[in-house]
Amino acid sequence: MIISKSDYIKYYQCAKCLWLYKNRKDYIPEDYDEGKAGLMANGAAVEEEAYKLFPDGIRVESRGFKEALNETDHLVKEKTPVIFQPSFWSEDLYSRADIIKYNPGDNTWEIYEVKSATSLKKEYLPDVAFQKIALEAAGLKVSKVFVIYVNKDYVRRGEIEPAEFLVREDVTALAESLKTKTGFAIEDMFKLIKEKEEPRVRIVQQCQDPYPCLFLGYCWRDIPKHSIYNVYFNAETINQLLDRGIVDLMDVPAGVIVKEKYARYHRALKEDRIRVNKNAIRQELDHYRYPLYFLDYETYSPAVPMFDNYRPYQRIIFQYSLHVQEKPGGGLKHYAYLDDKAGDPSLRLAAKLKGEIGEGGSVIAWFKIFEEGCNREMGERYPEYAEFFQSVNGRLLDLMDFFAKGYYVDKNFYGSASLKKVLPVIAPHLSYEELNIREGLAASESWPKITGGFLKTGEREELKSDMLAYCKLDTLAMVEIFRILDKLAGE
């Protein structure tokens, strides 16, 4: 039996996750890896930059298990100064490191774990503690442990400068402090995996923290639709509710839910009715001025900045959909833009958008902080459009407010005010389910595919069509929800 670093991370999050992974892989959904492409791409891109910090490094090219071990063993015996992606197996422990560096003076090695995050996170420490134990079990003397992560303040000017783009943090003492705890945990893991029955583990907050669990569907199969997990409770409150056998949200006593948006959801559930405040809706609608511009952006946020004047993970705005209604009851005009050319798309996008949004009227978004930020960043990057984007932001209204402020509450929003929760309930005739792209992450990850030259012409055009359809539905959904609210206010 082998325990790997990824096994330990599963155990660190939830013992049941590890047992299921080792004993019931048939419970893993076939599509589990979907949505991870962007994370993997960011991780790989940051690793490539980290390798540049060690110009004399040699990469273990073998992908097979035994071949990688043999190649690593050879490079270690040769005292190779720096090794990328080395693999180690000893005493039933397996670990593949990102980078190890040899110190000839004292015959020791340093471990460098590369992360695409912009800070040192607490969940990285068990990761490196396990690596240190695994490498030492394989016969290496480890003197230092580092985590390399992204400098959030870095701004690209020309070629990426790895020494400025990345931060190296010494976590040797922290990793060493976890050594005993990690050793006992490894012992417990071997016992756990051999158990014939799956462990009974209480669901608290671990299913999404720090990573989404691959057995979520299995473990949540009997959780009620309206459960205590739809409301944000701290771990102490969840445990108190579970101690009383309470999982269904209907059974939560009055006064336990403190946050108002969840209290509204709870009341709507208990009363089994839709709560609509027509006066508040009417007053909010008084701020809207025609023509109405319903605007939605799609963006891509790579860890490694693609263009000058961008920071890590800063949004690249590559697409918008704009529905325009000139007067009450008037027809709709639709404008769309999807940039598929090389280079920074936001300047071309800004020029196109300026010709379609007039100087008067309200600009409407859903969760306007996002569009507001995109506008501000484009105005800062391109001074010639600063006045235009300041004007747009000055007229920007948030359609989400009607739901976030509780003017319209339906139990089937599950306490959320997101468009994906609201639309299926109040305008079910408009559905994302019929589209090939159904959520923002998929739309975002599609952009490098259409600009990267990897797709055949037919595939590229089909993907572009799917991206346009998705973004168009975002603004059409806002139009329809506005129409429904306007009708309610007039009743």
Give pLDDT tens digits for 154-185: 999 999 999 999 999 999 999 999 999 999 99
Decide: 392 and 358 in contact? Cβ < 8 Å: no
Give yes or no: residues 321 and 267 share one domain. Answer: no
Question: CATH no. for residue 64?
Answer: 3.90.320
Residue 458 lies inside a defined structural domain of this protein: yes
- Host domain of residue 266: 218-273
Whether the predicted pLDDT of 313 surpasses 80? yes
Give yes or no: residues 26 and 93 share one domain. Answer: yes
What local confidence, expressed as pLDDT, does residue 34 receive? 43
Decide: 202 and 153 in contact? Cβ < 8 Å: no
Mean pLDDT of the chain: 95
Q: CB burial class (10 A; 0-12, 13-18, 19+) of residue 288?
A: middle
Q: Which residue has the higher pLDDT, 463 or 34?
A: 463
Residue 203 lies inside a defined structural domain of this protein: no
Residue 232, token pair as written in the block: 């944000």
Cβ neighbours for 343, distance < 8 A, ≥ 6 positions apart: 307
What local confidence, expressed as pLDDT, does residue 33 receive? 60
Give yes or no: residues 168 and 64 share one domain. Answer: yes
Q: Round the CA-based radius of gyration of the chain to a whole number and report it.
A: 26
Residue 199 lies inside a defined structural domain of this protein: no
- 397 alpha-carbon distance from chain centroid: 26
What local confidence, expressed as pLDDT, does residue 35 receive? 45
Give yes or no: residues 266 and 285 share one domain. Answer: no
Residue 213 lies inside a defined structural domain of this protein: no
Q: What is the pTM of this model?
A: 0.93
Query: How far apart (Å, rounded) are the C-alpha atoms in residues 303 and 490?
Result: 48
Question: CATH no. for residue 427?
Answer: 3.30.420
What local confidence, expressed as pLDDT, does residue 39 receive? 67
Residue 207 lies inside a defined structural domain of this protein: no
Q: Read off the pLDDT of residues 294-310 as tens digits, 9 standing for 90 and up.
A: 999 999 999 999 999 99
Give yes or no: residues 486 and 426 share one domain. Answer: yes
What local confidence, expressed as pLDDT, does residue 16 receive? 97
Left if phi > 0, otherwise alpha if psi is -120 to 50, otherwise beta: which for 415? left
Give yes or no: residues 232 and 161 share one domain. Answer: no
Residues paired with residue 396 on neighbouring β-strands, in sequence order: 363
Residue 209 lies inside a defined structural domain of this protein: no
Decide: 237 and 256 in contact? Cβ < 8 Å: yes
Average pLDDT of the segment spanning 204-225: 94
Q: Last residue of a domain, which of 158, 178, 194?
A: 194
Decide: 130 and 182 in contact? Cβ < 8 Å: yes
Query: How far apart (Å, rounded) are the C-alpha atoms in residues 403 and 419?
Result: 10
Residue with tokens 């004292």: 106
Average pLDDT of the segment spanning 445-472: 95
Average pLDDT of the segment spanning 458-472: 97
What local confidence, expressed as pLDDT, does residue 38 receive? 60
Residue 239, token pair as written in the block: 């445990």
Q: Work out the number of other CB atoms within 10 angstroms of the CB of residue 334.
A: 13
* Closest residue by Cα to residue 53 from 162, 211, 207, 208: 162
Give yes or no: residues 303 and 427 share one domain. Answer: yes
CA distances from 364 to 76, 285, 316, 486, 488 (A): 60, 12, 21, 14, 19
Q: Read off the pLDDT of residues 224-281 as tens digits, 9 standing for 90 and up.
A: 999 999 999 999 999 999 999 999 999 999 889 999 999 999 999 999 999 999 999 9
Residue 409 lies inside a defined structural domain of this protein: yes
What local confidence, expressed as pLDDT, does residue 147 receive? 98
Whether the predicted pLDDT of 215 surpasses 90? yes
Give yes or no: residues 85 and 234 share one domain. Answer: no
Give yes or no: residues 269 and 323 share one domain. Answer: no
Helix axes 15-23, 179-194, angle to 10 degrees: 40
Q: CB burial class (10 A; 0-12, 13-18, 19+) of residue 422?
A: buried
pLDDT band for 453, please (50, 70, 90 cuts): confident
* Closest residue by Cα to residue 49 from 171, 148, 145: 148
pLDDT band for 91, please (50, 70, 90 cuts): confident
Residue 31 lies inside a defined structural domain of this protein: yes
The domain total for the chain is 3
Average pLDDT of the segment spanning 424-442: 95
What local confidence, expressed as pLDDT, does residue 36 receive? 57
Give yes or no: residues 438 and 307 share one domain. Answer: yes
- Sign, CA dihedral 325-326-332-337, equals negative
What local confidence, expressed as pLDDT, does residue 317 receive? 98
Give yes or no: residues 260 and 295 share one domain. Answer: no
Q: Do the strands 408-409 and 396-398 form a parallel or antiparallel pair, or are they unpaired?
A: unpaired
Average pLDDT of the segment spanning 59-77: 96
Query: How far apart (Å, rounded) are the C-alpha atoms in residues 220 and 224?
Result: 9
Residue 1, token pair as written in the block: 């039996």
Q: How many residues does this entry show for the chain?
A: 491
pLDDT band for 37, please (50, 70, 90 cuts): low
Give yes or no: residues 289 and 254 share one domain. Answer: no
Encoded amino acid at 229, one letter: Y
Average pLDDT of the segment spanning 424-446: 95
Residue with tokens 């134990």: 133
- In the chain the first and final C-alpha atoms are separated, in Å, by 69
